[in-house]
């Protein structure tokens, strides 16, 4: 009798797995920042790029949709060469196109002319790492 009670308790404690259609769908957008650092003596830092993208996206989407987009910057995957910065942003799949449209609206970061270009949009982080 004790075994049946224990078996029933173990079965009720398990959590059902989520269906793939119910999981959070995310995209990793790899971008490149090309700056004209010859006009200023200092190149643009990655932190300034993230602040510019965040403020531009908040202006473009609004506060509510920005929160729904679940924007996450991944600084551990960023790289910086002379004049070029590459980085990865994680965003909800429904706001992927809006993020890339926001890149077009940003033309200056702290009085330095920049071009932000989308390289790749993928759902797998390993593909994003390879494109850096």
Q: What is the pLDDT along the chain (132 residues), one digit of tens a residue?
A: 555 555 555 556 778 888 888 888 999 999 999 987 655 556 788 899 999 999 999 999 999 999 999 999 999 988 887 768 899 999 999 999 999 999 999 999 988 899 999 999 999 999 999 988
4 domain residue, yes or no: no
Rounded Cα distance, 5 and 83, in Å: 67
Q: Which residue segment(s) compose the domain that 52 sits in?
A: 25-127
Residue 79's H or E segment, with its range, is strand 79-80
In a domain, 103, yes or no: yes
Sequence-distant (6+) residues with CB within 8 A of 72 are 89, 90, 91
Q: What is the pTM of this model?
A: 0.80
As for how many domains the chain has, the answer is 1
Inside any domain, residue 30: yes
| CATH number of the domain to which 54 belongs | 3.30.70.3250
**132 located within any domain:** no
Domain assignment of residue 18, yes or no: no
């Amino acid at each position: 009798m004790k075994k049946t009670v224990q078996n029933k308790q173990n079965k009720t404690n398990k959590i059902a797995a989520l269906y793939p259609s119910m999981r959070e769908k995310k995209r990793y957008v790899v971008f490149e920042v090309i700056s004209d650092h010859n006009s200023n003596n200092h190149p643009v830092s990655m932190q300034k790029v993230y602040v510019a993208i965040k403020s531009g996206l908040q202006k473009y989407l609004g506060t509510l949709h920005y929160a729904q987009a679940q924007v996450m910057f991944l600084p551990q995957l960023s790289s910086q060469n002379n004049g070029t910065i590459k980085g990865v942003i994680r965003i909800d799949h429904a706001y992927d196109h809006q993020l890339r449209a926001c890149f077009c609206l940003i033309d200056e970061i702290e009085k330095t002319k920049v071009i932000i270009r989308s390289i790749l949009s993928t759902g797998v982080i390993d593909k994003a790492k390879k494109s850096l």
